[in-house]
Structure 1
Amino acid sequence: MFWGFIAVIVAGIGGAGISIILGKITKGRTPKWLTPFAAAFAMLVTTISNEYLWYDQSTANLKPGVAVVSTIESSAFYRPWTYLFPITDRFAALDTNSLTAHPSGQNRVVGDLYFFARWENTQRLQILFDCASGGTLPMVPGETYDEVTEADFANPNGDEEMVSLACSGGTE
């Protein structure tokens, strides 16, 4: 966030600087409003590009073995360009390095799911995957989940990609 703020300030100074240089080249024939307009335009373009680049930069920084399993795009009235090109501002990633067989041995796998969101801290949730039914069950720390039945699993058809990735050990 800090570096994004610095980038916007530098872009504003650069836009104003280009306008001032253009004024010197044309011997003062540029309109007086051009300098603040150029600064504001450069700052707006930088802010918009930072919003669109966040997802690509975030996924590029994921460690090997962490796979994106879901993305959420958004549009907002105060960002009208997002109606044409929605912004990915949240995503979930499965850490295949954390996958372990559940002690019950019932074709179940435990793994870490991370939730990333723009301007928010990363959240981690441990998930129990039932490879037989294709269901998922969020785990509460400290619980063993030895007595879980197939009826306890949610989304039997909602997260096929994530479940198949977890049940294959992350080799898809």
Structure 2
Amino acid sequence: MLIKLLIAAAAAFFAAGIAQYARILSRKKLPRWIVPAAAGLGILGYQIYMEYSWFERTRARLPESAVVTEVRKIPAFWRPWTFVVPLQMGFSVVDSNQIQLAHSDGERIARFRLYSFEQAFIDRSEQQGYLLNCSSSVLVPLDNANQPQPEKARQLDRQSLLFAVVCN
């Protein structure tokens, strides 16, 4: 967190320095307010870069066997540029090396963990165990003791990437 603050300050000083240099080159024909405005734009540019590169930076830290199954892109009115280029605020991952397949009563059952990452002031990550019946495409979450919670079961779309990664 401190390093991000220092980098934002450095971006502000760099942008302000360029604006000050441009002001000197113009023989002070540019208005004085251009320097603090450039500093603000430097901070804003750094923040936008960090938000848009978050997905790639976070995904790069995951093992090669991790497969992204969902990306959540959320526009926000206080970030008007996200309506043009949506911001990736979260994603879900399955580690393909950790999927356990079993056969029960002639049906294929997969046990796996779904990892969810959310971009926020302090980034969040959660993991949840699941059972997926590949025959009926019913997804059942597991509790902390790895016991199925059938009351929370839901139907999973067979066309979803999660189904394709886990069952194929």
Q: How does 1:87-166 map to 2 (within 5 A)?
A: 87-102=87-102, 104=104, 106-119=107-120, 120-145=123-148, 153-157=153-157, 160-166=160-166
Cα contact 2:117–2:126 (8 A) shared by 1: yes
- Aligned with 2:143: secondary structure? coil
Q: How many residues align?
A: 165
Which amino acid is the alignment partner of residue 157 of structure 1? D
Matches within 5 A, 1:13-32: 13-32=13-32
Query: Alignment RMSD, CA only?
Result: 2.4
Amino acid aligned to 2:136? S
Does the C-alpha gap of structure 1 residues 152 and 158 become closer, same or farther in structure 2, counting only changes over 3 Å? farther
Name the aligned partner's letter for residue 163 of structure 2: V
- Say which SS state the counterpart of residue 11 (structure 1) adopts: helix
| 1:107 match: secondary structure | strand
Sequence identity of aligned pairs in percent?
22
Q: CA deviation at 1:103?
A: 8.0
SS in 1 for 2:17: helix
Shift of 1:159: 6.6
Partner in structure 2 of residue 11 of structure 1: 11
Where does the alignment leave 5 or more consecutive residues of structure 2 unmatched?
Answer: none
- Taking the aligned partners of 1:102 and 1:6, their CA distance within structure 2 comes to 51
Q: How far did residue 24 of structure 1 move? A: 2.9
CA drift of 1:129 comes to: 1.1
| Structure 1 unmatched ranges of 5 or more | none
Question: 1 CA distance for matches of 2:91 and 2:119?
Answer: 9
Q: 1:56, CA displacement in angstroms?
A: 1.9
Q: Aligned in 2, Cα 1:67/1:78: closer, same or farther, shift over 3 Å?
A: same
Equivalent in the alignment of 2:40: 40
Q: Normalising by structure 1, report the TM-score.
A: 0.84
Residue 102 (structure 1) shift? 4.6
CA distance in 2, matches of 1:96, 1:88: 22
- Return the offset for 1:31: 1.4
Q: 1:161 offset after TM fit, Å?
A: 1.9
For residue 48 of structure 1, report the CA deviation from its aligned partner. Answer: 1.2
- The change in CA–CA distance for 1:46 and 1:59 in structure 2 (over 3 A counts) is same
Aligned-partner residue type, residue 108 of structure 1 = I
Letter in 2 for 1:43: I
Give the equivalent residue in structure 2 for 1:51: 51
Q: Which amino acid aligns with 2:127?
A: R
**Residue-by-residue CA offset, 1:12-67 (whole Å, 9 max, x unaligned):** 01011112222333343331111101101111111112111111222222211101
